[in-house]
Structure formats: structure tokens, C-alpha cells
Structure 1
Amino acid sequence: MAIINRTPDSFYDAGRTFDLDAAVDASLAAVADGADWLDIGGQPFAPGTPLTTEEEADRIIPLIQEVRRQSGTIISADTFNPEVAELSIKAGANAINDTSGLSDQEMAAVIAATDAHFIITHSLAPPRTPWPEPTYQDVVGEVRDFLSRKIDEAIGLGVPEKQIIIDPGHDLNKNTLHSLELTRRLEQIASLGFPVLASVSNKDFIGETLGKARDERVEGSLAAAVICLMKGARILRMHNIAPAASALHLTEAVLGWRKPLSLHHNMKRRGIRVRAVP
């Protein structure tokens, strides 16, 4: 899953894709680099002044429409606003990525009326609100319990089970030790039986662990993504798509989920060179 932000204040890209043309170009480039999915957002979850529905929609709806016109790739709208979610689905989005963890029950009604997938993310604070020094007795157990409750809530509000995806929310109202523990024990989140999304790319837990600035975290992000894949994640939300695709495709091949693109090394038999996997 490639991250495309139409925001001037995104923590990583710092507004490089705020312009519509730049966002369209980045989206299509990500697909060319190996992304299977584009996550398009117009408002961060991080503390700040909330956008109006109109402001957020103006940022992401034209982008969703244009990408959908040019590509058949999966598109999700990264939004916690039910009205923006509804507009996004009508514009061509296949999923809603709600980083607020179903803080507004109207979101469930929007999803239930469509066949769009619904990503439920663990967080403690309301969107755009600070939550200093979060504490947990057992971060993995508490995140798992939260997601289990939210799954039941969504289903009770009419969202089909098959449309639900879960995200433990690395770094969202969590410190570095919490995010490392979630990564180490991610299989306990996957044991809930729903597809797991891991959003680890260039996060602060990687920077603090390695002592790296935001533009120096690619290698750490790849390591975290591979660990999450091995621990049960099935969607990896990443910034640097080309290296991420290579790292994850190689991991999938090791696990037997993906065939090599070609076979030449030590494969020559009776004068015939095998050029591609059947």
C-alpha cells in the first residue's frame, strides 16, 4: 500500500504531493514501482486544526477520481469523516482507512451501505488531538481487546465481516517501546482472524530505535515491514515503494507465496536454459 498525502503538513513528504498534478504523478509512479494499493489522504490524524468536510473532500476527491480514471488499482481514502468517506467511495475508492478506530458510528453506516472494505485502526485520542505519554499494562493485549470490541461494534452496525481489515496503529498514541512490542507480537493481533494492515514506514519508533532522521529510515522501515509480514500482516503501508516491493516480494518467495520471475542460476539442463517460471 503506497501512501499518497494531499497535505501541506505530512510528517514525511512535507507537502511534496499537495499539488493535484504532483499527487496524480506520485500515485501512478507508485503503481509502476509495484504498489498494489494507494492510500489517499487529505488530513493527518496527528494533533492540529481539523479540516472542514469541504476542505478535506476538495483535497482527495479529485485525486481519487483522476487515479481511478487512469488506473484499476485498489484505492483507499484515509479519512475519519463519514461524509468524506461516502464521497470517496462514490468517486471510486474501494476502501476506507479510518485511523480513529470507528470513533463515529456513522462511518459504519457508510460502509454497510457499500461493498467497500473498512480498515479499523487502534488509537486512544480523538483525531487531531494530543495524547501525551500513553501508558499500557500490556500494549498488545489492550490493542487486541480494543480491535475485537470495534470489530463487534462494526458488525453490529451492519458492516459485513468480509469487509473488515484491522491495523494495530504503530506509533498512534504509542511510544517506541509500545510499537516495538506490537511488532514483536503481531501474530497475536493476526489471531483475531481478520486481515492485518501494518503501517510502519518511516515511523518515529524506527527513527528512535536506530537514531535516524526521517529521511534516513528506509532500511529500518523495510526490516519492520518484513518482520510484520512474517508475523501475520498482509497489507504493508509504505512510502518508498520500489525498495519495499523488492523486500516484500523476496520474503513472499521465501515463504512460497510467489514464484521467482525467472530461473537461470544452475538451471541449465541438457542444453536447455529455463527462462521463466512456468
Structure 2
Amino acid sequence: MRILSVSNRGALKKLMQDINVDPYGVKIMLPKAQSYLLKINSLSNISANILKQEMLSLGGDAALSADALTGRVKKTGCLVMGNLSQFTRLRYKLNKQPFGLSKLAQDLNLTLKNYQKASFQLKAGRYRLNLGNRSYIMGIVNVTPDSFSGDGLYKLTNLRTCELTNYIVDYAEGMVRDGADIIDVGGESSRPGAKPVSLKDEISRVIPVIKSLAKKINIPISVDTCKPEVARASLDNGASLVNDISGLRDIKMAKIVSRYKAGVVIMHMLGCPRSMQKTPKYNSLVDDIIAYLESAVRKAEELGVSRESIIIDPGIGFGKTLEHNLEILKRLEEFKSLGKPILIGASRKSFIGKILHAEPDNRLFGTVASCVTACANGANIVRVHDVKAVKEALKVADSIKR
């Protein structure tokens, strides 16, 4: 006798088939074997108590604040416990209830549907990426003189402009040969304390590279920028995806992404690069980041960005302490509730350096460990400097997981 550690629907189905369960029985019992703990941040006492009673009637439960039961507070957080079968029946019960519980039933249904989504077709310009069968890799090409990781290719000032562009393009082509699925070109450092780069300088750095690279590779090119003008120029010259660390705070960026039918990475950042690491604080880390991303995604879709073109990024290292970064990676599966592909950029980040007491160029093993953990916990894409090493590690990890 043993307790099984299985939550994947496919693995559960295979276990039942292995002991020759009737196909109809498999269909009925699969939802009973999938258990979830669902958090509702704020619910009125009346709604919460009805929810608890309905879940108890189905064999599940809901944990509420003790003060909600005595009426000392008007609202409470709620942890709802049950299997998929119970949640499905709960939905029908709540649909008949007043006090906003029918809306809660719709939200519950959407959250579970999002969380269970195992694959995505990402639309990015002329490209379609089928995310879900394996982990995808975004190779980092920093066309800057001051990247935190030490790989800023623009520091090679002894080269003439055309030679520098050719060198950078060759570097990116090497990443493609090593297995990169996307190339991300950036012309402005986002390291903590970084000073802004002028529009003219950023365009002069990234456009020659993107224009030349687009003629040589057949995978999506992403531009890492928060300036709408840079995004537009990049999309005009061969890019098909925008990696916006500011999370589409500028509505002009969303409109450009929509107009070009480009893909977009919406990232969470607390503050701006110059100030983001000055004592970052959250009320509730994951709750706050998910709320921010949910709002940004909704705004993007309202402005015309295709829902199939959006990737979310919780922003490792952008206004986060060491403990924050570790908690995000540990709880990454919770971000699946938003129903979007997840990108993680942990490569050579300072939290790895703090753990290993290592400089950026000695953080490869820590980067690999972070990427494998991220993909095991729900990430679809990892953004990295060292493509070959991460590619090989994830190929093995994907084989084990899938």
C-alpha cells in the first residue's frame, strides 16, 4: 500500500487504465481525483457562510475568518477545499443563490478552466507557437553597454557600427543554433538603478540588429522595450513580439501591439528600474502581482490586443527581494489561474548570486536550477542568456514531467 503523488489529469487517467477501470468509470471518477484549494480574497459574510454550507453539503469545506462567523467583520477571505466534481456541482448550486453568488459561480468556473489549461497557441505576428508540449526558450540579446549580467554587447566600442551589428547578429544566430525559440533584443538596461536611455539611442541600438536578424532567422524576434515608438519601429523592421517590462502602463503600447497583431509579454514591476529595489513591500505578494497582471491583461484586451497574443511575467527581480523571488517560483502554479502562458526571466539574477555568493558570470548552475523549477511549476517560456545549457536541462526535465 502507498500514497500516490499524482495531480496531472493525464497521469491520473493512465493509473485508472492500468488497473483496467471501465472507460465510463474513468470519466466519472477523474474529477473526484483532482483536488483544489481555491482562494477568494474578499467575500461578504453572508455570501461566505452560504458558500461554506453549500460546499459542506457536497462533502467539501470552506475556511473563513472566525470573525466572519460571529459578525465582527463584514467581509472575509475564503479558502474553498474540494475536488473537481464537487466544484462543478457547487457551481450549479451557487447559480441559484442571491448576494452575487451567481457571479461568483461564473468566476469560479473561469478560474478552474484557466488553471486546467495545458496548452496555448500563441499568436505573434506571422508566427504561431504551440506552447504546452515542451518548455520554450527566449534567448537574451542585450544591445547595451551596461547590462547587469555582463553580456551587454554594445560595450564592444572598438568595433565600427556595421561590424558591431554583424557581431551581434552572429551572436543571436548562435543562440538559434543552440535551440532558442525566440530571440529577445533589448537596447536599454533594466538593472536596478539604471538610468533611462533616450529614444534616439535605443532605436539606433536595436533597429539595425532586428532588421538584419529578421532576414536570417525564422523564429520570432522580440523587442525588450517600454517605449511605444521603439516597439513600432521594431515591428516595422521584423519583430513580431513586444516584451514590455512596464506591463503596458502606456496605452499607446497596447494600441501598437493590437494594430500590428503582435505578441506581447506583460510583466509586473514595482515602481521603475531606478527605484524598484529600494525596500520593495507588498500587502500579499502573489495576490498583489496577480491582481496587477489581471488588470493589465483586461486593459490590453479592451484596447484590442488578442487574448491569444498575451504572455504574463511576474517579474523576477523587478521590485522583489530574495524571499519574494523564491516565493514566486515556489507558487508559480497559482499564476495559471489567469489562463495565459507564463514567462520567467531568472537568468543570472541577483537572487541567485545571493544564494550562491557568485558574480553574474558564475550563476549558470543557479540559472539552470531556477529554470527547471519554473517550468516544473507552470512556466511555458524561460528567458535566458545561456541557451544551450538551459535547453538541454529542460529537455530532460520535460521528458520526466510530460
What TM-score, normalized by structure 2, do the two folds share?
Answer: 0.62
Distance 1:131 1:11 in 2: 14
> Within 5 A, what are the aligned runs for 1:25-44?
25-44=170-189
CA contact (8 A) 1:96 1:119 kept: yes
Within the alignment, does 1:9 sit opposite 2:146 as a pair?
yes
> 1:20 aligns to what SS in structure 2?
helix
Shift of 1:22: 2.3
Aligned twin of 1:212: 358
Find 2:169's aligned residue among 24, 27, 31.
24
Distance 2:228 2:217 in 1: 25
| Post-superposition CA distance 1:55-111 (Å, at most 9, x none) | 111100110111111111111000000010011111111100000111211101101
Higher helix share: 2
Aligned twin of 1:74: 220
CA contact (8 A) 1:103 1:126 kept: no
Distance 1:49 1:216 in 2: 25
CA contact (8 A) 1:4 1:17 kept: no
> 1:229 aligns to what SS in structure 2?
helix
Within the alignment, does 1:157 sit opposite 2:303 as a pair?
yes
> Within 5 A, what are the aligned runs for 1:46-85?
46=191, 47-85=193-231
Distance 1:129 1:106, change over 3 A: farther
The range that moved more, 15-24 or 56-65, is: 15-24
The range that moved more, 156-165 or 73-82, is: 156-165
Distance 1:159 1:127, change over 3 A: farther
Aligned twin of 1:272: none
Q: 1:233 corresponds to which letter in structure 2?
A: A
The range that moved more, 119-128 or 65-74, is: 119-128
Shift of 1:35: 0.8
The range that moved more, 130-139 or 187-196, is: 130-139
Aligned twin of 2:116: none
Shift of 1:48: 3.0
Distance 2:318 2:239 in 1: 24
User: Taking every aligned residue pair, what percent have the same amino acid on both sides?
Assistant: 37
| Unpaired runs of at least 5, structure 1 | 257-278
Distance 2:274 2:383 in 1: 20
Distance 1:14 1:68 in 2: 21
CA contact (8 A) 1:17 1:26 kept: no
| Post-superposition CA distance 1:242-275 (Å, at most 9, x none) | 101000111112223xxxxxxxxxxxxxxxxxxx
Distance 2:345 2:245 in 1: 11
Aligned twin of 1:269: none
Within the alignment, does 1:168 sit opposite 2:314 as a pair?
yes
CA contact (8 A) 1:207 1:213 kept: yes
Within the alignment, does 1:179 sit opposite 2:325 as a pair?
yes
Distance 1:212 1:138 in 2: 30
Distance 2:283 2:203 in 1: 39
Higher strand share: 2
Within the alignment, does 1:87 sit opposite 2:224 as a pair?
no
Distance 1:245 1:132 in 2: 34
> 2:269 aligns to what SS in structure 1?
coil
CA contact (8 A) 2:341 2:379 kept: yes
Distance 2:319 2:379 in 1: 20
Q: Name segments (4+ residues, structure 1) moved above 4 Å.
A: 127-131
> 1:144 aligns to what SS in structure 2?
helix
CA contact (8 A) 1:79 1:85 kept: yes
> 1:4 aligns to what SS in structure 2?
strand
Distance 1:199 1:191 in 2: 20
> 1:177 aligns to what SS in structure 2?
helix
Q: 1:42 corresponds to which letter in structure 2?
A: G
> Within 5 A, what are the aligned runs for 1:230-241?
230-241=376-387
| Unpaired runs of at least 5, structure 2 | 1-137, 156-163
Distance 1:127 1:206, change over 3 A: closer
The range that moved more, 172-181 or 14-23, is: 14-23
Root mean square deviation, CA, Å: 1.4
| Post-superposition CA distance 1:181-238 (Å, at most 9, x none) | 0000000112211000000101111111222221111111101101110111101001
Bigger Rg over Cα: 2
Shift of 1:128: 4.4
